[in-house]
Amino acid sequence: MRRSLVVGNWKMNGNRGKSLGLLGDILAGLGEGAKADVGVCPPFVYLPEVGEALTGSSVLLGSQNVADQDEGAFTGEVSALMLKEFGCQLAIVGHSERRLIYGESSALVAARYAKALQHGLIPILCIGETLEERESERTFDVVGEQLDAVLHTAGVASLAKAVIAYEPVWAIGTGRTASTEQAQEVHSWIRARIAKLDANISESLQILYGGSVKPDNAAALFSMPDIDGGLIGGASLDANSFLKICHSA
Ligand code: PEP
């Protein structure tokens, strides 16, 4: 039985005070015995303080990216070793905003994924197609290529310690959510593809859905057999909405 996981991606929003305030409201509202595991991914600069505020809590701390190198002349990058120093447990890699706005290739994403794993961070590998790719019926080609890049670099066994987030680009921040059937179709396709390589890993792999998850659509999405929780952008910036989503999982 897979546990559910709900992760908030705060992106480049808020400030120091708002980040700590948001976290405080989330911690107060989550209470004991939440059924799902919960994580938050604040901007890099707030990781130390958010991490400190999470002391003693079961909420997981995550970064929004991770370097593909350990150290050196890589301006603007933050290594997995540095993230571990501040208590990070998760690292998002391959978010569509990184792939599409900053031109990160699947090969670079795979190298980031491998570095996260090497140093004991759980990578949340984001994969998903654009609207144009969906409309030209290339969804499975695109998602397959993004997945294969990681499988070739790190092998299927690496997925035992990783999470996948299926995030159709056309649903991110647009208010347009994939229908439960559309999301389930891709999630089950991903799981089946991995099952061909390793049935046990496929069965235990958490596959999150991301793309305009809100309190009013979360329960239906999370009720699908291959959807194991969500990666939440906009709605994770509002404690009440995020808490409702967490409680739906
Ligand atoms: C995201 O950016 O990962 C995301 C899912 O955003 P939103 O929930 O705002 O669509």
Our answer on whether the CB atom of 24 is closer than 6 Å to any ligand 1 atom is no
Q: Which atom of ligand 1 is nearest to the CA of 232?
A: 8
Which residues are registered as beta bridge partners of 62?
A: 90
Mark whether 167 is an active-site residue. yes
Query: How many domains, in total, are found in the chain?
Result: 1
CA 118 to chain centre: 18
Our answer on whether the CB atom of 231 is closer than 6 Å to any ligand 1 atom is yes
Ligand 1 centroid to residue 206 C-alpha, Å:
18
Q: Which atom of ligand 1 is nearest to the CA of 214?
A: 8
Q: What are the residue ranges in the chain where pLDDT is below 70? A: 32-33
Mark whether 247 is an active-site residue. no
The whole-number pLDDT of residue 174 equals: 84
> Among residues of the chain, what percentage have pLDDT more than 90?
95
Ligand 1 centroid to residue 72 C-alpha, Å:
32
* CATH code for position 11: 3.20.20.70
Domain that holds residue 145: 5-248
Structure tokens at 232: 């939440």
Ligand 1 centroid to residue 73 C-alpha, Å:
31
The whole-number pLDDT of residue 177 equals: 86
Ligand 1 centroid to residue 231 C-alpha, Å:
7
Q: Which tens digits make up the pLDDT trace of 8-29?
A: 999 999 999 999 999 999 999 9
The whole-number pLDDT of residue 87 equals: 96
The whole-number pLDDT of residue 33 equals: 62
Nearest CA to ligand 1 atom 6: 233
94 Cβ neighbours under 8 A, 6+ residues apart: 104, 106, 109, 112, 113, 125, 126, 127, 146
**Which pTM value belongs to this model?**
0.97
Ligand 1 centroid to residue 97 C-alpha, Å:
10
Pocket probe mutation, ligand 1, options 166, 232, 237, max atoms within 8 Å of Cβ? 232
Question: What is the 3-class SS of the chain, one letter each residue?
Answer: CCCCEEEEECCCCCCHHHHHHHHHHHHHHHCCCCCCEEEEECCHHHHHHHHHHCCCCCCEEEECCCCCCCCCCCCCCCCHHHHHHCCCCEEEECCHHHHHHCCCCHHHHHHHHHHHHHCCCEEEEEECCCHHHHHCCCHHHHHHHHHHHHHHHHCHHHHHHCEEEECCHHHCCCCCCCCHHHHHHHHHHHHHHHHCCCHHHHHHCEEEEECCCCHHHHHHHHCCCCCCEEEECHHHHCHHHHHHHHHHC
Nearest CA to ligand 1 atom 2: 233
